[in-house]
Amino acid sequence: MGRLIVISNRVALPSGARAPGGLAVGLYDALRDSGGMWLGWNGEIAGPDADGALSTVTRDNITYATFPLAQHDYDCYYRGFSNAVLWPVFHYRPDLARYRRADHEGYLRVNREFAQRLAPMLRPDDVVWVHDYHLLALGRYCRDLGVRNRIGFFLHIPFPAAEVFRTIPPHQALAQAMCAYDVVGFQTDTDAEAFSDYCEKHLRTGREAGGLRMPERRLRVGTYPIGIDVDDVAAMAGKKGSSQEVALKLGLADRKLIISIDRLDYSKGLLERFAAFEQLLEIEPDHGSHVSFVQLAQSSRSDVQGYREIRRELDRAAGRINGKWGELGWAPLRYINRSYARATLMPLMRASQVGLVTPLRDGMNLVAKEYVAAQPPDDPGVLVLSQFAGAAREMRDAALIVNPYDTEGMALALDQALRMPLAERVERHRSLLQGLRTHDLAAWKNRFLADLRAPAKR
């Protein structure tokens, strides 16, 4: 069996510590098991006199191959087309997209550079696994360079309906580039169907069971919902004394805790969530000073104007809620803009009675799954989950599913969660945990790689 070559926008370089997130952990495990290479941007901006050379380091049977980006490539490829066009449109916010032809050209230029760096290092039996929206066109440039290896692509964010996708001016070229892969994977059936529907209507590809048929080749289109390492999360969350320490540090006393953990982004529905919590305090005064809501929202992409604006709006909303409902010694809402290690977050989840995960649109949302895995089975909390998170497809029968655009509905769901009897909480948690174990991180990785390594159909 040949090597696995993973390509992603950023590379999690080895540091001696456990990789920080679900995706990084999953890719690390896949590479470690089979041996291979991880290629991508090192996160650095090269100065005008830098040569941008590829740097490699090998550890645990994995070769990490990284390189910097020039400032103009960072501006066009990353800040521009990736995050000012693809991210908002794929999350159904074309109104926020800011398209510039120079940014699109920069996006293609960097995708081509990835391919040019990759091609000379490939062996004939290697398989290549490309990740996420930053690299939609990479497969096409690999084919242009004569690469005939099996190449798969996995999209971690949603793929929009055809009419939304068409708001991107070069939509057709992007979809054609994606068809250069052998396998294209999505988080949900809805996303896979949206891509296939677009290709059938606007690229005139044929539809068949398991994918698309073009004159010269077939493309497998599949659904591969990403999971988590359940036992790893449970072990971190259940570390002796950790949950009690979290409760003491927060000064919760006998108050119930609602927890939300997100990256600061307009797709996460934070303003709608704050409004729902405020309405809960209005319509159910019994909760009064007996409930605290902690929102952790790590700042991201602070050099993009839209993200600075949403932070200001959230600051104003948090101030209004605490000014109206707070008391001496109690602030109903704690809104914190900083990141924490997973070893801190998992006990915090375990100490909470409600996990509030209500994005306006999300590919999967691993926080929802981590919340469930972190709970004590004998006294678990309740997951309140947006119907627009990919995770809702797997968790809809046991989580409380809400529409994040329905403020009153979310408030009532919070009230239901806070009042839910122990027996019902235990049964819901048992069902959710069983699903997490069936569709865990290893299952995601193994299913995708099995399809990628399968012989091509003609």
CB-based contacts of 369, cutoff 8 Å, min separation 6: 227, 228, 391, 436
Report the candidate in 379, 389, 390 with the shortest Cα–Cα distance to residue 427: 379
- CA 170 centroid distance within chain: 24
Distances (CA, A) of 91 to 16, 106, 159, 260, 267: 35, 22, 8, 20, 7
φ and ψ at 302, to 5 degrees?
-65, -15
Which two three-digit tokens encode residue 283? 């319509």
φ and ψ at 381, to 5 degrees?
-80, 180
Report the candidate in 68, 65, 21, 16 with the shortest Cα–Cα distance to residue 42: 68
Q: E strands within 304-409?
A: 333-336, 354-357, 382-386, 400-402
Rounded to whole angstroms, how far apart are CA atoms 294 and 337? 11
Q: Please name the amino acid found at residue 77.
A: Y
The yes-or-no answer on residue 290 being catalytic is no
φ and ψ at 29, to 5 degrees?
-65, -40
Percentage helix, strand, coil for the chain under 3-state DSSP, each rounded to 5:
50, 20, 30
Spatial contact of 123 and 3, defined as CB atoms under 8 Å apart: yes
Which of these is catalytic: 262, 265, 362, 440? 362
Alpha helices in 81-170 (DSSP H): 87-90, 101-118, 138-144, 162-165
| Residue corresponding to tokens 């003491």 | 248
DSSP state of 215: S
Which of these is catalytic: 104, 131, 134, 156? 156
Q: Please name the amino acid found at residue 374.
A: A
The yes-or-no answer on residue 287 being catalytic is no
Residues involved in catalysis: 156, 362
